[in-house]
Structure 1
Amino acid sequence: MTANAVGLALLILGLALLIGKIIRVKVGIVQSLFLPSSIVAGALLLLLGPEVLGRFAGPWGENGLFTEPMVEVWSSLPGLLISVIFATMFLGHKLPTAKRAVKLVGPQLSLGVSLASGQYVVGLLLAALILVPTLAVAPMTGALIEIGFEGGHGTAAGMRPVFDELGFGEGADLAVGLATVGIVGGIIVGIGLINWAVRTGRTELVTGSAKMSIEEQKGLFREDEYYSAGKMTSRPSSVEPLSLHIAIVTVAILVGLVILEGLRWIEQATYASVMLDDNTPLEIFAYVPLFPIALLGGVIVQFVATKAGFAHVIDAQIMLRIQGWALDFLIVAAIATLSLQAIGENIGVFVILAVAGIVFNVAVFLWLAPRIIGRYWFERGIGDFGQSMGVTATGLILMRVVDPQAESPAFEAFGYKQLVFEPFFGGGLVTAMAVPIIFLTGVWPLFFVMLAVFLVAVLSGLFYFRPREMRDRAEWEKEKSEGREPARE
């Protein structure tokens, strides 16, 4: 494969993303569903590629309108870009004060961990009792709900090398398909829940109707709006700020790579020589991908920068722009190379997992959130619901609808929770290690571990955080009933 072929493949991705944005601006149904332009672009390339157009006899050949090198580049791209996304997650962020972070993060973390660990409980139980014995699928299917829903397209596509190495290549296609269902379903179900909450008085900041402006539906800013994309932390005469931040991201990824290779070396030098019953070596880190360790690399780089006194050079907004670019291109490439044949051959498994995941997420949100979060339970909980259905951006969109001016602590609490949550679930260490653990030990060991985590998360919310949160809610409602303006904090 030549450098020109790689460059052309990237150019086509960029063109598709622009066309996807134009469709988002011009087509009403796409706006009402709040579909990201990257999903629209990926669907367009999927239709014009080997999985759809290429299956019809015609002058375009088996790869549709594209060449085989283009498709190969797109297939490899998600596994590379996912490390960029995770490496940037904590770069440029300041740690909150301990007192306020603990107050806000407790119930938020309880809800988030309940949703994430519960997706494993549901998926593994379905795999053990229904999918494996009746549909003869691999036990690793039990991890797909969390990978596709909580992890999203980035994690689903980033796990493809692991699935391929473990002989479950169709698992990556199912996970990417579930991620698409999760994002679309998260927006549709989330907006439906918001309108229900507004009508029944469960929201505190939005009354009447929950709607976004035309500009927001199109995903554009008005001419009179201003949004900072980042600050200049380096003089361009020395190095372009964007180049500097990309260089810092590469250092974080390299730190993660060194850590991962070190863990693999230790594994090979110690317990990897142990053979399981089927003569499979007892290896875990050999199957762990780079991206969750790249997140740890980002934390280390940020910590060193803070201690060394140059943390001000790392701007969180520029890191967010780099992360957003990587995620957009990743989603386009992942959907463009999605195997519809693999989903079609496993359509029963796909439908069961999708329905089970959606029902579980809605049930946990509606039952647990009002019981463990005091003030603004809906505004704060809907973000975790959105994240559990797709990606963090889905949760942020839903929070923006119910708290357009960021008057509640929803965004702050959600951010604090991410600092503890992201290293483990939704693409973190637990997500990365779940599939090889299932491959090595079967369904039940991980099921019981995740069941224990789920119960601890739920019970800690109900019996530890609930009393304090309910006192806050009662005091707040008393202030309102007495005609006083309650504090927003």
Structure 2
Amino acid sequence: MNTTGLELVDVFAAFIILGLFLLLGRFLKEKIDLFKQLYLPESILAGAVALLLGKEGLGHLVPPDNFLANQGIFPQDVTTVWAQAPSIFINLVFATLFLGETIPSPKEVWRKIAPQVAFAQILAWGQYVVGLTVTILILTPLFDINPIAGALIEIGFEGGHGTAAGMAEVLDTFGFEEGSELALGLATVGLIAGVVTGTILINWGRKKGHIVSETENNLSFQESTNSSETVQTEYEDFNKHVLLDPLSINLGIVAIAVTLGWLILKALQELEALTWAKIEIEIMNYVPLFPMALIGGLIVQITMKKLGIDHLILRPLQKNIAGVSLDAVIFSAIASISLTVLGTNFIPFLILAITGITWNIAAFLFFAPRLLPSYWFQRGIGDMGQSMGVTATGLLLLQMVDPDNKTGALESFAYKQLLFEPIVGGGFFTAAAPILVFQLGPIPVLTLTASLLVFWIVFGWVNFKV
């Protein structure tokens, strides 16, 4: 083993193994009907298998004198790379969110999706309120859990595996080393619960007549084929004008977005050092890079559009870059989970999971029909899915209730992200919440989030009630 540090060959080996396990995840999903029915991503299945075969699984099951003890089947250098990968690749995921997208005017966006924004914000801020409440009243007094645990429901449910993994370094900085494992566990439970409870609610909605103007067919093979043909056509058109591979161009554009995000973060850190840090309030020094990478991507998109060179950005390729990066984030994060930590904090983990799931379902059933002016079930189920299993789960549930997009729920859901993701669900407040709890304490943050929850309830109720 290399004792002086990782070499490139170690990183190469780690990602070769990662790729093989992703294929294994695909094989398991093809062969086991339960995984198909739950719509579990291959990266989660692959990460779970790697976790069981690694030091936290097999490494603890074999006798102490066995060569697999305390490491499993993977060399230490490989697991070291995996442990570092989530906080790196999450930046690529967020940098690509706006690249290649049409950015409408703020007025147009607000007109179309204001009710959707209100409902989504209620779900997100409510997760902070219930999480901080149970932490203050139960988890910290009875289990001596770090008060930052109150933010973990939103980090794990709204933010998902990528955000949970990306926040690991921040949580470690504040002495909450078990926080990232708890957040990753919540992200896994939330994703599964989002699909399962979403499917149950959809069946209930059909029986009650809440789902209208939709057909029962799934996305067809022909649609998938057409999508592939579109990508191929864009590749061919692109290659007529440039000699560099389109993927290389688009990776370079992502690199610019990440670099801009890094510069913005450094500038804000310098501003903080000159201003409010002097009164011992520090936030920007603990904020991770990925929210700034999102802003960097937005700046790149707008700038290239104004310069007339936005045709260089191929949205299908940006989605592919994000998809590969997210697979790497999810796999490596799950493969690196400490089962020992989860076992030690099982009861607090269970309390947070049940609290978060209960809030999301209750908020969907109560607020969605009262705040969303049309097709409340279709528009609400997407946000509920996102609130427990990130954006992909929301899109999955939308596909199940409105596969042909006859209700317009998909557009509302998509445009809402512009006014949602930069704040919560992995945005600025998600990144700042642990910092605020650490700096100010849980009660002031509970007061702040409860006030924001009340604001969005009143705003939605007054303007969009039916």
The answer, yes or no, to whether TM exceeds 0.5 is yes
Give a deviation string over 1:351-395, Cα, whole Å, max 9, x none: 000000000000001111111112211111111000000110000
Give a deviation string over 1:56-106, Cα, whole Å, max 9, x none: 223323210001001000000000011000011111111236665333211
The residue correspondences of 1:21-100 to structure 2 (distance < 5 A) are 21-56=26-61, 57=63, 58-96=66-104, 100=108
Match of 1:13 in 2: 18
**Within 1, Cα distance between the matches of 2:170 and 2:116?**
31
Provide the identity percentage: 44
Match of 1:143 in 2: 151
- Is the partner of 2:285 in helix, strand or coil? coil
Residue 224 (structure 1) shift: 8.2
Of residues 224, 231, 238 in structure 2, which corresponds to 1:234?
238
Deviating more after overlay: 388-397 vs 315-324: 315-324
Contact 2:214–2:404 (8 Å) recurs in 1: no
Match of 1:347 in 2: 346
Match of 1:329 in 2: 328
Match of 2:363 in 1: 364
- Unaligned 5+ residue runs, structure 1? 276-281, 471-489
- CA 1:447–1:211: 2 relative to 1, 3 Å: farther
Aligned length: 453
- Is the partner of 1:204 in helix, strand or coil? coil
Residue 337 (structure 1) shift: 0.3
**Within 2, Cα distance between the matches of 1:455 and 1:6?**
48
Give a deviation string over 1:391-445, Cα, whole Å, max 9, x none: 1000000000001111111110001100110101011000001101101110011
Which amino acid counterpart does residue 187 of structure 2 have in structure 1? A
Which amino acid counterpart does residue 9 of structure 1 have in structure 2? A
**Within 2, Cα distance between the matches of 1:222 and 1:24?**
22
Of residues 247, 250, 254 in structure 1, which corresponds to 2:259?
254
Residue 130 (structure 1) shift: 1.1
**Within 2, Cα distance between the matches of 1:96 and 1:434?**
29
TM-score, normalised to structure 1's length?
A: 0.90
The residue correspondences of 1:374-453 to structure 2 (distance < 5 A) are 374-453=373-452
**Within 2, Cα distance between the matches of 1:156 and 1:193?**
27
Which amino acid counterpart does residue 34 of structure 1 have in structure 2? Y
Residue 111 (structure 1) shift: 0.6
Which amino acid counterpart does residue 446 of structure 1 have in structure 2? V
- Is the partner of 1:59 in helix, strand or coil? coil
- Is the partner of 2:325 in helix, strand or coil? helix
Contact 2:373–2:464 (8 Å) recurs in 1: no
Contact 2:249–2:312 (8 Å) recurs in 1: no
Which amino acid counterpart does residue 253 of structure 1 have in structure 2? V
Residue 28 (structure 1) shift: 0.5
Runs of 4+ in 1 over 4 A off after TM superposition: 97-100, 210-213, 221-224
Match of 1:181 in 2: 189
Residue 206 (structure 1) shift: 4.2
Residue 223 (structure 1) shift: 10
Residue 205 (structure 1) shift: 3.0
Which amino acid counterpart does residue 260 of structure 1 have in structure 2? L
Which amino acid counterpart does residue 227 of structure 1 have in structure 2? S
**Within 1, Cα distance between the matches of 2:427 and 2:238?**
31
Contact 2:217–2:403 (8 Å) recurs in 1: no
Match of 2:372 in 1: 373
Give a deviation string over 1:178-219, Cα, whole Å, max 9, x none: 000000010000000000001111001347xx6758xx8xxx
TM-score, normalised to structure 2's length?
A: 0.94
Give a deviation string over 1:287-317, Cα, whole Å, max 9, x none: 1000001111111111111111112221222
Structure 1 vs Structure 2 CA RMSD = 1.7
Match of 1:487 in 2: none
**Within 1, Cα distance between the matches of 2:157 and 2:402?**
24
Which amino acid counterpart does residue 464 of structure 2 have in structure 1? F
**Within 2, Cα distance between the matches of 1:39 and 1:234?**
34
Match of 1:482 in 2: none
Which amino acid counterpart does residue 203 of structure 1 have in structure 2? I
Of residues 196, 204, 209 in structure 1, which corresponds to 2:212?
204
Question: Larger % of helix: which?
Answer: 2
Contact 1:120–1:447 (8 Å) recurs in 2: yes
Give a deviation string over 1:439-478, Cα, whole Å, max 9, x none: 1110011111111111111111111122xxx3xxxxxxxx
Match of 1:479 in 2: none
Match of 2:287 in 1: 288
**Within 1, Cα distance between the matches of 2:134 and 2:359?**
13
Deviating more after overlay: 41-50 vs 266-275: 266-275
Which amino acid counterpart does residue 234 of structure 1 have in structure 2? F
- Is the partner of 1:227 in helix, strand or coil? helix
Match of 2:249 in 1: 244
**Within 1, Cα distance between the matches of 2:224 and 2:421?**
35
- CA 1:135–1:200: 2 relative to 1, 3 Å: same
- Is the partner of 2:239 in helix, strand or coil? coil
- Is the partner of 1:295 in helix, strand or coil? helix
- CA 1:100–1:303: 2 relative to 1, 3 Å: closer
Give a deviation string over 1:249-298, Cα, whole Å, max 9, x none: 010000000010111112122232334xxxxxx21111100000111111
Match of 1:320 in 2: 319
Contact 2:121–2:420 (8 Å) recurs in 1: yes
Deviating more after overlay: 232-241 vs 303-312: 232-241
Contact 2:218–2:399 (8 Å) recurs in 1: no
- CA 1:224–1:299: 2 relative to 1, 3 Å: closer
Of residues 270, 276, 298 in structure 1, which corresponds to 2:275?
270
Deviating more after overlay: 148-157 vs 264-273: 264-273
Of residues 108, 114, 119 in structure 1, which corresponds to 2:122?
114
Match of 2:3 in 1: none
Which amino acid counterpart does residue 394 of structure 2 have in structure 1? G
Contact 1:33–1:184 (8 Å) recurs in 2: yes
- Is the partner of 2:287 in helix, strand or coil? coil
- Unaligned 5+ residue runs, structure 2? 1-5
Contact 1:205–1:402 (8 Å) recurs in 2: no
Q: Is 1:464 aligned with 2:463? A: yes
- Is the partner of 2:227 in helix, strand or coil? coil
**Within 1, Cα distance between the matches of 2:286 and 2:111?**
37
Contact 1:187–1:394 (8 Å) recurs in 2: yes
